Amino acid sequence: MNNPLFDLSGKVALITGATRGIGLAIARQYGRAGARLAISSENAEDCSRVALMLNGEGLDAQSFTADLSSQAAVVRLAADVNERFGRLDVLACNAGVAPHMGPIGNASDADWDLTMTVNLRSALWLTSALLPQMAAQGGGSVVLMASIAGVRGNKGLGLYGLSKAGLAQLARNLAVEWGPSNIRVNAISPGVIQTEFARPLTDRPVVIEKRLALTPLRRVGTPDEIAALALLLAAPGGGFITGQNIVVDGGTTIGDGN
């Protein structure tokens, strides 16, 4: 029996970075909850493949290719989704990049531009294009994928962390701006999740063992554990949650190292 608190029947959801990892898990959970899905990434072949795969699982998914480093492409994406579905109820901005590893002062201008544009500015472009119509429909929900790299200092992902801290602040700002229009905006900050994106960490035994020793649950997370929260934030059950940055990290950021 479907639980009305987690029901997205009749809703349309756009998920960026939706062809693998956390984005794919979110798309699948939204679809299982009844939403029609707009699957987006920069790779047309991947988008089509994933949409067909989800269709084969009985979900209603369509593909939309977009390069989020281009404002024109982002505006086109918003227009294409509106034209295809006629509405949008849930926006999950999950796409992200981390082109620079190491001290933040060593990051190039190109690293800065790519990181801030894809991780942060594209979310602003999308919300600016889509929230007015969402408000006209009577409301909706936005989920921004941040990171625990944005809530604490670190030596290797400083630039990425800056972009994700900005994304969490964007959630707070938009929540205040659009709350009177019944639009909720929240961020999720995952810890280490078992995805292709995290392999530079999870594939290094010495590094991951040290991280897990500092994590109370002593394991990495799964994409479905992030998707479950994204579903709550999109569904009626999360209807009084807005402007929050919710950490999902197995306790890494609150652990004392014991």
Helix, strand counts (H, E) of the chain = 9, 7
Is 160 part of the annotated catalytic residue set?
yes
The full set of domains in the chain, from first to last, is 12-193+223-247 (3.40.50.720)
DSSP, res 157: B
Q: Which of 30, 64, 125, 160 is catalytic?
A: 160
Contact 63/47 with Cβ under 8 angstroms?
Answer: yes
pLDDT score at 258 = 63
pTM of the model: 0.95
Burial call 173-191: b when 16+ CB within 10 Å, e when fewer: ebbeebeeeebbbbbbbbb
pLDDT, mean of each 10-residue run, the chain (258 residues): 90 97 98 98 97 98 98 98 97 96 95 98 98 97 97 92 98 98 98 81 77 89 97 98 97 82
β-pair type (36-41, 12-16): parallel
Task: Tell me the pairing of strands 245-248 and 61-65.
Answer: unpaired
Residue 77: enclosing H or E segment and its boundaries?
Answer: helix 71-85
Question: What pLDDT is stored for residue 205 in this prediction?
Answer: 80
Sheet of 61-65: strand order equals 61-65, 36-41, 12-16, 90-93, 140-145, 183-190, 245-248
pLDDT recorded at residue 72: 98
Beta strands in 19-60 (DSSP E): 36-41
The pLDDT score that the predictor gives to residue 257 is 66
